[in-house]
Copies of this chain bind each other. A is one copy, B any other.
């Protein structure tokens, strides 16, 4: 199977398949006489694993760790869970951060007339800094 087929079978772009090979996430596959990469169904399986991990927000590095555990049939599920749990923590930290931004912005947007006049609490906040609207509600 050529890289194009492996790509459509796995959902990973050909570009990224080559990239994953270049950083050592996947092994270099065999080549045809004409230097084309040749993949088998195991490779596609691995690529799908990677795709799924990336979709769940794992970094490439975390994905490498998960791949390693996947291949290690003597792994302890606790090790996998630890990777997942840490990732959940990272995601939740990020979510909280974004929610903080949204909270502030919504408050400011609510206070902004959104009309033709220039007066705007959003710009006032940006100009004055994070504490300017404390106690205003």
Copies of the protein in its oligomer: 2
Q: How large is the interface on A (under 10, 10 to 19, 20 to 34, 35 or more residues)?
A: 35 or more
Task: List 24 interface pairs A-B (beta carbons < 8 Å), by A numbering.
Answer: A45-B127, A52-B125, A52-B127, A55-B101, A56-B104, A69-B120, A70-B126, A74-B118, A76-B115, A76-B116, A77-B113, A77-B115, A77-B116, A77-B117, A77-B120, A78-B113, A80-B122, A81-B114, A81-B120, A84-B105, A84-B122, A91-B102, A94-B98, A95-B102
Q: What is A's interface to B at a CB cutoff of 8 Å?
A: 45, 48-49, 52-53, 55-57, 66, 69-70, 72-78, 80-82, 84-85, 87-88, 91-92, 94-95, 98-99, 101-102, 104-106, 108-109, 112-120, 122-123, 125-127, 129-130
